[in-house]
Structure 1
């Protein structure tokens, strides 16, 4: 074979890995097809395509209804079975096309990295600047996803929007858990690293700061606010859970029960790996991920909607492992035991009690949240009667990073901050 060697080009962007774990999502799509085609153990009244097992009772009733309607109208079941098969093949083809379109999309996040004036272990404070006339806001994300969802893309960055509106924005980037963090409990994160990050943020701002916690970060911020209220001016809790059994206790306890299966992995790795976390999230809505990729495959790849989808999926697929002690507390305590709502969640030996927090508070509750059901977050609002509750017509991620996030959250949050009593003092020379 002759000629110049093939140039793989050093400038090619790295291949995308998502949706993670890919094998699981493909297997779930295959299982859906198998369920639709496999004959049941006994099908006295239904043809093979309509009575497949396993099916829910509702699914079996629907299959019998279809079979009866076909018989009454004289349509041969074989023709219907062939139509179902074509539909299943079309769905599989659309899923694969959507995944390939995502993995080949040219969009890559390209935003300047803010300076990091404080670091500890794998964590750092990122300083987004801002005039600071409204004070300083420390933003605390979840431990299981990177913070970039709050700084997603040009024109779609919550943090840069708030900085431009007059806040000094500081973001706590938790980073990957290294050997020290893999032994961290929630107490270590809250009473240790988060407390020191708040102190560093207050030192940079020259005054107490506002704290905004997103999802799991809201629970961490809530516990911190109870421990160190003097360090804060106010508390914003964005899509923050409290009563983990409020909407579906069976599903929550089921998540808690996965801890026993995951324990050997936690002991071996010292952390819950990203793919295991992604599998737990996928189990909450098994069909949802496949369907969103089918929809993406139908989008114009040059559209703003397609670029936002790619940006969000890149974020979702670039997760962070969860320290083993935290995984045990979250799965076993929060989900399995509903410890926050029962008053049994303790940080440094003290029960976290929202009613004890007298700081001004803002609770943003997305109406279409599948990760933190509204009932779970509303249970927290009931424990904080002085808090302002903002109902956002959005989902868990859409509220902070969707196309209408400015309307759903950014402006309402700013309005609340602007109305807080007392203007923050300006540092001389700032």
Structure 2
């Protein structure tokens, strides 16, 4: 990608490579200890992020199957879950864990019926589900299968025909090239998905590394960049069936958006929700465009990007505060 986009710009290539080298050698703080496990289903766990001030109904965050769940608890000073716990809410986080090749047949629907629903069944009362990105797609489908006290979607795709024709064509090409190897492995490696994200905006990807070459390596800005990039470039693979369903049934056929995605014998329909629901949608999202949202009645449009709304400088005002207000109204009111 660097060769393609800097062939005539040797100075830019040098800057990008310098930034990449700086990122690779940057110091990393010791990993924080994992949060306590409240329940387990297969490789998935439900982790406790409540604090001393927490009270009220459980608020279960469902992350994407892509990238680790820790973006919702990125660092001690930048944690949506920690911030919500300090405000009296009771956040918990699904950790999907690491799939094994023997689980190749576990599709996205199976992650709902065989992983998420057993975790929720371990709770004493129906929770509020908060789904981020593909986790929102999963949470939306789960709402048709289990009682919920509320549902909040954050940058969650539902109508996959809302992605641009170019984006869907690029995704189809990516899967055509990667599918035979993924079939052999029984898994879809994170590198396959990451290369697709790079294609969305290659200039932006290169520019951020060029800028990082000029950042003080021991500054807070450098630490924040490294923490976010480490999250971006890590993640467990998908099972083969989950990858196939994502690429073929979602991006290509748009089964969710056309009312044809059947999970656990039920079809999830945003119009049939029987609990309070809200969705937070970004008007500048390059990964999940606003046109792909479920278009719930309570739809909040944000100006922060897909990841920026969770961990960026505008996150508190754009998402954290309005989400906390909505959750407090449904999780703390008895």
Smaller-chain TM-score bracket: over 0.9
Give the stretch that moved more between structures: 208-217 or 249-258: 249-258
State the match for 1:30 in structure 2: 3
In the alignment, what sits opposite 2:107? 185
Please, which of 301, 305, 308 is the counterpart of residue 391 of structure 1? 301
Aligned to 1:128: 49
**Which residue does 2:14 correspond to in 1?**
93
TM-score, L = length of structure 2: 0.94
1:127-177 CA distances to partner (integer Å, 9 max, x unpaired)?
112344342111110111110111101110111111111112211100111
Q: Which aligned pairs between 1:131-210 and structure 2 lie closer than 5 A? A: 131-200=53-122, 202=123, 206-210=124-128
2:303 matched to 1:361?
A: no
1:104/1:181 Cα in 2 relative to 1: closer, same or farther (>3 Å)?
Answer: same
- Answer with 1 or 2: which has the greater Rg: 1
- Could you tell me which residue of structure 2 aligns to residue 217 of structure 1? 135
Structure 2 distance, partners of 1:119, 1:93, is 47
Q: Which of 308, 332, 335 is the aligned partner of 2:248?
A: 332
Q: How many residues align?
A: 333
The 3-state SS of whatever aligns with 2:281 is strand
1:125 Cα deviation after fit: 1.2
Question: Of the two structures, which has the highest relative contact order with CA contacts closer than 8 Å and spacing of 6 or more?
Answer: 2
**Equivalent-residue separation in structure 2 for 1:167 and 1:295 (angstroms):** 38
Aligned-pair CA distance for 1:227: 1.4
Q: What do you get for the CA RMSD once the two structures are aligned?
A: 1.8
How far residue 365 of structure 1 moved from its aligned partner, in angstroms, is 1.0
Q: Secondary structure at the match of 2:150?
A: strand
Distance (whole Å) between structure 1 residues aligned to residue 170 and residue 203 of structure 2: 18
Shift of the 311–321 alpha-carbon distance from structure 1 to 2, 3 Å rule, reads same
1:241 and 2:157 matched: yes
CA shift for structure 1 position 257: 4.2
Structure 1, gaps ≥5 residues long: 1-27, 37-87, 425-430
1:245 match: secondary structure: helix
1:60 maps to none
Residues 263-297 of structure 1 show CA distances to partners (whole Å, capped at 9, x for unaligned) of 21122100111111111211222222111111112
| Cα 1:179/1:31, change in 2 over 3 Å | closer
Structure 1 residue 115 corresponds to structure 2 residue 43: no
Q: Give me the TM-score of the superposition, normalised by structure 1.
A: 0.74
Q: Is the 8 A contact 2:284 2:305 kept in 1?
A: yes
Q: CA deviation at 1:180?
A: 4.5
Matches within 5 A, 1:209-358: 209-228=127-146, 230=147, 232-358=148-274
Partner SS for 1:338: coil
